[in-house]
Amino acid sequence: MNVQKLDSIVRFIRSLYGRNNGFIPLHTPVFGGNEKRYLNDCIDTGFVSSVGAYVDRFEQMIQELTGIRYAVATVNGTAALQIALLLSGVKEKEEVITQPITFVATVNAIRYCRAEPVFIDVERRTLGLCPQKLEEFLEKNTVLKDNGGCYNATSGRRIAACMPMHVFGHPVQIDRIVEVCNRYNIPIVEDAAESIGSMYKNRHTGAFGLVGVFSFNGNKTVTTGGGGMIVTNDEQITKTAKHITTTAKVPHAWEYVHDQLGYNYRLPNINAALGCAQIEQLPKFIERKREIAQKYQEFFEKMGIPFVSEIEKSRSNYWLNSILLKDREEREAFLRYTNDNKVMTRPLWRTMTRLDMYKDCQSFKLEEAYWLEDRLVNIPSSAWIYPDT
């Protein structure tokens, strides 16, 4: 890619964000609603920790948004993933199928449960777990035992869960993944961390598995500064999730009694206050982000550069916009030029099997993951305009 082409890309990105000279970040939060009002109210009441009305309200808002019966707020998305896996029945020395293209927290949560990840390749068009390769792996490498469990024929370990992830807000073919896993009695923990507001076949992401998880980190479409959410239609999972994320404390007027191993994972009220104000603005955020994505797609199509877009019957929140370059050399040149010119761009995460702590894990046909790693770049995606001052 020549300098003229790179320069035209930088100038186009600057035109989208109304900033001719200043730094353009990859993604920043938008605080244009009731954030200050709710935070002040939270401070005035004195309820700033994990007990308070805003936590309950935030959980209710997520339930209404997603159509999922129950929601349990947590201190961050990684904590939510860990608890979701535990409550799905994942135990030590068992296995969880996941994808090699994801943020490391997905896989770390598996190891927090002392379980082992098994990596199945992704689809190029969704960036998420490939249903066809998942089915092929299960057919060739597992056995169903009389107890109903699915066991890895190579390791002898039970496959306790499957955790697909909706990368950059783009829904995977989650219905096909669920259908395959149901045949092998493998529960789904849906990593919807990046996909708040995304829909697949008229259902919100996170609503297809036994348990779903969202993240509200500072860089997400909706932020609480740091926070996560467990969602499920299972009442018992909900009760247990609330109990063990609150240090497994037995309710009592004054005594401190804890009846099992618990975690201090509940979301503080002050963070939930921020989240409530953010959810109120989510339709506006997504409208703006989809508008930006459409402009990107039209621009890059004219340049002959593939833009990663939603698949049929899905509606992506376009949390992060992505393009696919010719090869790793072109990717590196693009990253260098844009960042040198104060337009923040980032490569795809390093494939999980290339990280030292996961390089020895079992994997299956990762051709697409490695292909994407060499080519995919994220470009500025904020739902915000940064006018020069």
Q: For residue range 189-203, what is the model confidence (pLDDT) as tens digits? A: 999 999 999 999 999
pLDDT in tens, 111-130: 999 999 999 999 999 999 99
CA distance 312 to 175: 13
What's the confidence (pLDDT) of residue 18?
Answer: 85
What's the confidence (pLDDT) of residue 46?
Answer: 85
Average pLDDT over residues 318-332: 98
CA distance 281 to 27: 16
- Closest listed residue to residue 162, CA positions, set 129, 199, 193: 129
Encoding tokens for residue 12?
A: 């186009």
Q: Which residue has the tokens 């940064």?
A: 386
Q: Over the range 353-389, which residues count as b (16 or more CB within 10 Å of their CB) and which as e?
A: beeeebeebbbbebebbeebbbbbbbbbbbbbebeee
Cβ–Cβ under 8 Å, residues 30 and 281: yes
pLDDT in tens, 64-96: 999 999 999 999 999 999 999 999 999 999 999
* Sign of the CA dihedral running 101, 105, 109, 115: positive
Average pLDDT over residues 140-166: 96
Average pLDDT, the chain: 95
The separation between CA 261 and the C-alpha centre of its own chain, rounded to angstroms, equals: 27
Whether the per-residue pLDDT at 244 is higher than 90: the answer is yes
- The β-bridge relationship of strands 363-364 and 116-120 is parallel
Whether the per-residue pLDDT at 386 is higher than 70: the answer is no
Q: Which residue has the higher pLDDT, 383 or 206?
A: 206
Whether the per-residue pLDDT at 388 is higher than 70: the answer is no
Average pLDDT over residues 93-108: 98
User: Which residue ranges form the domains of the chain, and what is each CATH number?
Assistant: 1-389 (3.40.640.10)
Encoding tokens for residue 70?
A: 């129950």
What's the confidence (pLDDT) of residue 385?
Answer: 61
CA distance 44 to 368: 52
Residue 263 phi/psi, 5-degree rounding, is: -135, 140
What's the confidence (pLDDT) of residue 389?
Answer: 41
List all residues 6 or more positions away from 330 whose beta carbon is below 8 Å from its beta carbon.
1, 375
pLDDT in tens, 271-313: 999 999 999 999 999 999 999 999 999 999 999 999 999 999 9
Whether the per-residue pLDDT at 108 is higher than 70: the answer is yes
pLDDT in tens, 21-45: 889 999 999 999 999 999 999 999 8
Average pLDDT over residues 251-266: 93
